[in-house]
Chains A and B, each alone.
Chain A
Amino acid sequence: MSRYDRQIKLTEVGLEGQEKLRNAKVLIVGVGGLGCPAAMYLAGAGVGKIGLMDHDKVDMSNLHRQVLFQESDVGRPKTVVAKERLEKQNSEVWFEVYEEPLTVDNAENIINQYDVVLDGTDNFETKYLINDACILTDKPWVFASIYKNEGQLSVFNYKNGPTYRCVFPKSTRQNISCEATGVLGVLPGILGTLQAAEVLKIILGAGEVLSGKLKLINMMQASEQTIKINKRPEEVEKIRKNGIAPVYIYCDLKNKEYWYLDVREVFEQPKPKGKKVLSIPMGDLTSRYQEIPNNQEVFVFCQSGKRSKNAIEILKNEFGFHNLKNVEGGIETIIDG
């Protein structure tokens, strides 16, 4: 008996629908709290090709919600681990791994190779990037985002429908990740699963796709609401005409008098403004350490405070820096706003 027997029995699927799934290509951007459950259900359903994109490595603090990963995976690239796990689940699916971030340069080319994009990202700049690249390549994308106990869900750019910029025309600096605010693992589990359901409906051409609507879910309050959204044609036209409009999120520092060293990768945001902020990613420290002042206090930061701690160890042990101070809580603790 076919492994897909139980879904083929549904009138919405059938043998024809199963064939549609087998021929479908879905790109998952961000293999985290949302991307993990989504990938598992899409692989289970027999989606022919699944692209897994993430530049991050598995951290112990991911395990409560990123259900593809195990303790022994800590430190390994998320995409590689996810592929190994998912191949065991369904060897009929082709998994393509992208161990890199989605950028203005690669977005259109990569997205063009897929039918649908599933947004598992945790930041505004990538959401706008997915949105713009999907407008330019004419692909639908399934959006979800989380804040503490609440989630938002929608399908954008589906059959010429509204896009993310039609709901939120302007980006915001308030780039608040699950790491910063906290989240129960089940919430991205619910949202990621709902995203997978939307992807399946889009592929099957079945049911009512959540396009032109924004679903709001509050897991703690056990409440949900659906807001109707309209297309803002001028927002979509702007992108069609001028191409991707990259979102750079800048922020102000509470104290501009100090020297700061940002050891995050260049694509990580928000970017603090100021003349005394040096940006040297971890990988470049050994070649660029001479740029760091050594005669006055320098505050070293990253997103959470973990990498900056390692950076200080390296700079202290290998290059004799004794003036570096770690920003324990990461960037959110030193910015104004």
Chain B
Amino acid sequence: MTVTIKYFGLVAEAAERFEEILELDGVLTASELKAQCLNGLAIADKESVQIAVNQNLDDKITLKDGDEVALLPPFAGG
């Protein structure tokens, strides 16, 4: 299946991209995909990064072809 990943904030910075399209095999939940995407990235607190699938905040959903996944870290600046 093909899934589009959107990166935000310091996740985008660590991944050095705002978006990428991944070809994935097998059955994968949103949080499993998050772990895969963040693996190896220099992000101190990966737990704080939230996941949205098709513009809905949800980490338990099983992904399907054509899904858009957003990885959202909290921002603090003001």
A residues within 8 Å of B by Cβ? Answer: 30, 32-35, 119-124, 127, 144-148, 150-152, 167-168, 170-178, 181, 183, 188, 214, 216, 218, 221, 225-230, 337
Contact = CB atoms under 8 A, between A and B. Distances in A.
B70 interface: yes
Given A173-B44, A228-B56, A230-B57, A168 B74 contact: yes
27 contacts: A35-B78, A121-B78, A123-B76, A146-B78, A147-B75, A148-B9, A150-B8, A150-B9, A167-B74, A168-B50, A168-B74, A174-B45, A174-B73, A174-B76, A176-B77, A177-B76, A178-B77, A178-B78, A214-B57, A214-B72, A218-B8, A218-B18, A225-B6, A225-B70, A227-B57, A228-B55, A229-B57
A173 B48 CA distance: 9
Interface string B57-78: 1000000000000101111111
A132 to B, nearest CB: 16
Contacts of A152: 72, 74-75
Interface of B: 6, 8-10, 13, 18, 44-45, 47-48, 50, 52, 55-57, 70, 72-78
A168 B9 contact: no
Contact of B56 (A145, A146, A181, A227): A227
B8 A172 contact: no
Given A150-B9, A168-B48, A218-B18, A175 B76 contact: yes
B52 to A, nearest CB: 5
B77 A147 contact: yes
A270 to B, nearest CB: 11
Rank and list the top 10 A-B pairs by shortest CB-CB distance, nearest first: A172-B48, A145-B75, A337-B44, A146-B77, A122-B78, A147-B75, A172-B45, A147-B9, A178-B77, A227-B52
Given A172-B47, A225-B55, 18 more contacts: A32-B78, A145-B75, A147-B73, A151-B75, A168-B50, A168-B74, A171-B74, A172-B44, A173-B44, A174-B74, A175-B76, A188-B77, A214-B72, A216-B8, A221-B18, A225-B6, A227-B70, A228-B57
B11 to A, nearest CB: 10
Contacts of A181: 77
Contacts of A173: 44-45
B7 to A, nearest CB: 10
A61 B47 CA distance: 33
A179 to B, nearest CB: 9
Contacts of A127: 76
Most buried by A among B18, B52, B73, B74: B74
Nearest to A182: B77
A34 B77 CA distance: 9
B78 A30 contact: yes
A124 B76 contact: yes
A120 B72 contact: no
Nearest to B47: A170
A218 B45 CA distance: 22
A120 B77 CA distance: 9
Contacts of A32: 78
A119 B77 CA distance: 11
B77 A145 contact: yes
Nearest to B11: A147
